[in-house]
């Protein structure tokens, strides 16, 4: 983001917080710039029809300005997430899970599975590390001096559209389709939403990884390299598909109902 854009983003934010009575000196003090600088930016924003001067120190944000502000917020969140990931990537010591007993000083291969970092002496990996604190198989260990790249490809989503209660609920589920999908993606994260999804999971004796804030959880899991199987009823399935599509995540939609007639 260019410096000018960031400053105008901050000014737009202050206009939203304090409209309609805006004191340019207050904004200048908050942003650490001169009043003249604030005035120049506000003239640019007025010229660009992002804020409107109603006279006597009254300014309001326009619909165009609100749209710009929302876009900047979204872009800035993505930017901060990217910075945060890079900070984590280059920190000195990382936690990981050992797949066999390892001891301090050993060199191990590093890989990611279901969004978790694992280390092993018995795999070939593009990334290697030295063991800082060792441990037994399944225990958390500490690694450092990481070399190479930990490959993390975005996961995909398999949406199993299950019937709502008015369509028969768990009684109308084609469990063969569900079981086949679970077997095809044995390492997938499982997401459910609502009563019907919970009953299906209980019948299959599986424990969902994501039950709340499902859309956000699915996106987060995919960004960490996990495939996700989402057992979701009709309308919720449509919402999730819109979310994963917006985040450019690949998905497959499967109908897991025995019957396809709809009364919704």
Strand partners, 191: 210, 230
The boundaries of the domain holding residue 131 are 93-148
Residues 217 and 165 in one domain: yes
pLDDT in tens, 121-167: 988 888 999 999 999 999 999 998 888 887 777 899 999 999 988 88
Q: What is the pTM of this model?
A: 0.55
Residues 251 and 224 in one domain: yes
DSSP 257: B
135 inside domain: yes
Residues 16 and 67 in one domain: yes
Please tell me the distance from the alpha carbon of residue 100 to that of residue 167, in angstroms, as a whole number: 48
Kindly tell me if the per-residue pLDDT of 90 is higher than 60: no
pLDDT at residue number 231: 93
261 inside domain: no
Q: Residues of the chain with pLDDT > 90: what percent? A: 42
Total residues belonging to the chain: 264
pLDDT in tens, 26-41: 888 888 889 898 889 9
Residue 192: burial class (beta carbons within 10 Å; 0-12, 13-18, 19+): buried
Q: For 37-59, what is the mean pLDDT?
A: 88
pLDDT at residue number 264: 40
- Residues in contact with 34: Cβ distance below 8 Å, sequence separation at least 6, in sequence order: 28
pLDDT at residue number 55: 80
Please tell me the distance from the alpha carbon of residue 148 to that of residue 150, in angstroms, as a whole number: 7
Kindly tell me if the per-residue pLDDT of 214 is higher than 80: yes
Domain end position, chosen among 88, 110, 128 = 88
Strands (E) located in the chain? 51-55, 58-61, 94-98, 107-113, 116-120, 127-133, 140-147, 157-162, 189-192, 228-233, 251-255
231 inside domain: yes
Total tally of structural domains belonging to the chain: 3
The contacts found for 81-84 with CB under 8 angstroms, 24 or more apart, are none
Q: β-pairing, 127-133 with 107-113?
A: antiparallel
Please tell me the distance from the alpha carbon of residue 59 to that of residue 55, in angstroms, as a whole number: 8
Residues 77 and 112 in one domain: no
Residues 140 and 178 in one domain: no
211 inside domain: yes
Please tell me the distance from the alpha carbon of residue 4 to that of residue 203, in angstroms, as a whole number: 57
Residues 183 and 219 in one domain: yes
Report how far apart, in Å, the C-alpha atoms of 189 and of each of 161, 165, 182, 255, 262 are: 16, 24, 10, 19, 29
Closest by CA to 88, choosing from 189, 222, 224, is 224
């Amino acid at each position: 983001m260019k410096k000018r854009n960031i400053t105008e983003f901050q000014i737009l934010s202050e206009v939203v917080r304090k409209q309609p009575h805006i004191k340019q000196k207050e904004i200048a003090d908050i942003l650490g710039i001169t009043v003249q600088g604030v005035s120049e930016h506000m003239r640019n924003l007025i010229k660009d029809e992002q804020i409107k001067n109603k006279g006597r120190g009254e300014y309001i944000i326009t619909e165009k300005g609100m749209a710009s502000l929302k876009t900047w917020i979204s872009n800035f969140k993505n930017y901060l997430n990217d910075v945060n990931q890079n900070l984590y990537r280059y920190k000195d010591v990382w936690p990981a899970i050992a797949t066999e007993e390892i001891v301090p000083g050993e060199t191990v291969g590093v890989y990611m599975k279901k969004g978790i970092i694992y280390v092993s002496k018995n795999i070939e990996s593009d990334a290697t590390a030295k063991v800082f604190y060792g441990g037994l198989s399944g225990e958390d260990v500490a690694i450092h001096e990481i070399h190479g790249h930990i490959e993390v490809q975005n996961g995909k989503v398999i949406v199993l559209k299950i019937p709502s209660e008015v369509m028969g609920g768990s009684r109308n589920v084609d469990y063969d389709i569900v079981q086949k999908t679970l077997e095809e993606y044995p390492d997938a994260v499982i997401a459910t939403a609502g009563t019907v999804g919970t009953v299906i999971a209980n019948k299959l004796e599986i424990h969902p990884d994501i039950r709340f804030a499902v859309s956000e959880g699915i996106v987060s899991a995919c960004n960490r390299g996990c495939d996700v199987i989402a057992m979701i009823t009709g309308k919720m399935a449509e919402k999730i598909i819109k979310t994963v599509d917006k985040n450019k995540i690949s998905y497959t939609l499967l109908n897991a109902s025995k019957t396809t007639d709809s009364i919704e």
